[in-house]
Chains A and B, each alone.
Chain A
């Protein structure tokens, strides 16, 4: 093992003088194939041009470690083959740390069907202009269990910078998402904690979605707390057709058709259109061809957050999105911070016309937690800002547990 690292280091000094980057790529790929349980695959300092996806499958207790986020760069700007930069599948207890991965043609790092995956001090970024040609996801664990993302950074993704999909037991913390369409997204996932992150300058800061048509039908028990979600006002540069393409520029936190979500102790600052949105899938106006799909948000708790915006709460919502424009027409620059679409079925309501406990949306103790109920079951004519029926409490959700999952 040591000898291998030594030889890689030696060969590095030779890169300019003949030993090609292709040799390096082949060596790393070979090592990812041959690596044994408990081994560390070291990525030395330097910038390496990689032409095809680096793949690892069926490994246990393996760490892929760079020399540091500012020292080891894997650049895929000339990528010829493969839909992602690094792809890890069917593995157990894998750690990726201390490197930067750049400019992949598709996703930067995809991890699928893996139990125990840690991303630590990894940066995934697209270095050019924000473009729909950028890959969809920066860090992309999907169908995984026990996911830890910490101290990471994701920049420039045309879908989500940090995206956890169809997974169970998840912690995303102390990470930063900047200038992505969605900063951090938790989708069709259960038992997730998202805390102490900074989501800034994205189109939407933090999204909690349940989408139809997937194997893992239902997300839930998602806690989003102690995050700074600021100035997520960037233009939406997602390719058309993708669900995040419908997120309005100026969105702080957005809950779409998810259940059991607790949003608390966040600073939600200067998001010009929606501080926190709570929407049903019908709001996307997309067809649903999945009988088992539940399209409504339910048991949502928004408490103890601080909302601030522009000059004394005044900020012009985006005009580049029909909802933003509608908000501007109705409220001008003083748009309420918490928006609920109010799309419900009759039997969701009690005799007072309030949501029954199992469907409740609860708002409590938010600073500047101004509320808008679009009441959009049929049209947008009967919107109101009445919080009656929404001043309630939901039991605190359980924390994620990465150890005893």
Chain B
């Protein structure tokens, strides 16, 4: 009987997969490639993550923390199209632009030769003036990645830069979750393609990557180098003061939601780099809807007292009902937390 039931269920399962799921999926796969290889982003073996012709790797100054995942970033614009420089906001990117962000873990961070586990590639594509986020999950053999609108999860084991063994059930976001970070005035938008983030050299080259974009006819309107704003790199003490680096960290980890037009504007707390009023960063600001996320603390930031500030409580929590960011983090980012604590500590 039990076996019969199992078989019946297996059949129902097959029925669903064969009839329903493909019907539903067809709508998406009609529009978008079901597999990552169809885009032709990579040259040679996909897992090498080498850009194909017309695909340009880029780096940002202050990266978003994503459970210690490593990231490869690339951009592809249609032939003969170029981006237009903006000083304060995301560049104007041409129709058809694709941003390709791949998340991976080294098997042993100290020994790159041991290889890596590529988990997912997120493709952000501009179509008819609007952006759409498409999550592709890599297979075990690392030969292909598949579109999964509902996201997914994967067990990851790796050795970190300190030689410590780490394990994690990595969560690939679903399509709606993509937008919960990539949202500005209710529209889906890219985040990192700003002057502040891109104003830096790339790899070992000395040349500035924005200059390189301009030379390759991918960017117009670039001002003189001294007039381009630059964000500090939170991990590099030479790039700015503790406050500069903490603000950069908060901008890239929190500011995409916590800004006057982001989804977290319900809270009245703004952590984007453009917000200059300390009360809006949380200084002596009582919580609005934090609930237990306040951790029994009274204000977002209590100057001089990182351990009395709600901001650090939420960075230190891993409870889904308390933690910040709400998405894309299961581990505590110790280095980022230390920096923000140092910043609050020195505040008067």
Distance in angstroms between the alpha carbons of A371 and B304 in the assembled complex: 44
Interface flags, B126-162, vs A, CB<8A=1, else 0: 0000000000000000000000011100000000000
Interface flags, A209-226, vs B, CB<8A=1, else 0: 001011100000000000
A30-B24, A240-B298 known; A81+B320 contact, CB < 8 A: yes
A30-B24, A213-B279 known; A17+B298 contact, CB < 8 A: no
Cβ-closest chain B residue relative to A51: B153
Q: Nearest chain A CB to B9's CB is how many angstroms away?
A: 4
User: In the complex, are the beta carbons of A104 and B321 less than 8 A apart?
Assistant: yes
Whether B2 is near chain A, meaning CB under 8 Å from some CB there, is yes
- Count CB-based A-B contacts (< 8 Å): 177
User: In the complex, are the beta carbons of B297 and A26 less than 8 A apart?
Assistant: no
Whether A133 is near chain B, meaning CB under 8 Å from some CB there, is yes
Whether A243 is near chain B, meaning CB under 8 Å from some CB there, is yes
Whether B295 is near chain A, meaning CB under 8 Å from some CB there, is yes
User: In the complex, are the beta carbons of A159 and B279 less than 8 A apart?
Assistant: no
Distance in angstroms between the alpha carbons of A143 and B261 in the assembled complex: 12
User: In the complex, are the beta carbons of B321 and A106 less than 8 A apart?
Assistant: yes
Interface flags, A19-50, vs B, CB<8A=1, else 0: 10000001001111110000000000000000
Whether A7 is near chain B, meaning CB under 8 Å from some CB there, is yes
Chain A residues with CB under 8 A of B241: none
User: In the complex, are the beta carbons of A136 and B289 less than 8 A apart?
Assistant: yes
A82-B327, A105-B320 known; A214+B288 contact, CB < 8 A: yes
Chain A residues with CB under 8 A of B12: 7, 10-11, 14, 19
User: In the complex, are the beta carbons of A242 and B287 less than 8 A apart?
Assistant: yes
User: In the complex, are the beta carbons of A143 and B150 less than 8 A apart?
Assistant: no
Distance in angstroms between the alpha carbons of A133 and B319 in the assembled complex: 10
User: In the complex, are the beta carbons of B6 and A165 less than 8 A apart?
Assistant: no
Distance in angstroms between the alpha carbons of A207 and B174 in the assembled complex: 36
Interface flags, A82-112, vs B, CB<8A=1, else 0: 1100010110000000000000111100001
- Number of A interface residues in the complex (CB < 8 A): 63
Chain B residues with CB under 8 A of A11: 9, 12-13, 16
A7-B20, A112-B263, A166-B266 known; A240+B176 contact, CB < 8 A: no
Chain B residues with CB under 8 A of A4: 20, 24
Whether A386 is near chain B, meaning CB under 8 Å from some CB there, is no
Distance in angstroms between the alpha carbons of A296 and B296 in the assembled complex: 27
Q: Could you say which of A17, A33, A211 contacts B288, with CB atoms under 8 Å apart?
A: A211
Whether B239 is near chain A, meaning CB under 8 Å from some CB there, is no
Chain B residues with CB under 8 A of A68: none
Chain A residues with CB under 8 A of B307: none
Q: Nearest chain B CB to A30's CB is how many angstroms away?
A: 4
Cβ-closest chain B residue relative to A159: B291
Distance in angstroms between the alpha carbons of A11 and B151 in the assembled complex: 21
Interface flags, B275-290, vs A, CB<8A=1, else 0: 0000110011111111
Enumerate 13 A-B pairs (CB-CB under 8 Å) in ascending A order. Answer: A7-B19, A10-B16, A30-B150, A57-B176, A82-B326, A107-B289, A163-B289, A239-B290, A239-B293, A241-B287, A241-B298, A287-B284, A289-B283
Which A residues fall within an 8 A CB radius of B? Answer: 3-4, 7, 10-11, 13-14, 17-19, 26, 29-34, 52, 55-58, 79-83, 87, 89-90, 104-107, 112-113, 132-137, 140, 142-143, 158-159, 163, 165-166, 211, 213-215, 239-243, 286-287, 289-290
Besides the known contacts A58-B179, A106-B320, 8 further A-B residue pairs in the complex with CB atoms under 8 A apart: A79-B321, A104-B321, A112-B263, A142-B289, A165-B288, A213-B280, A241-B299, A289-B279
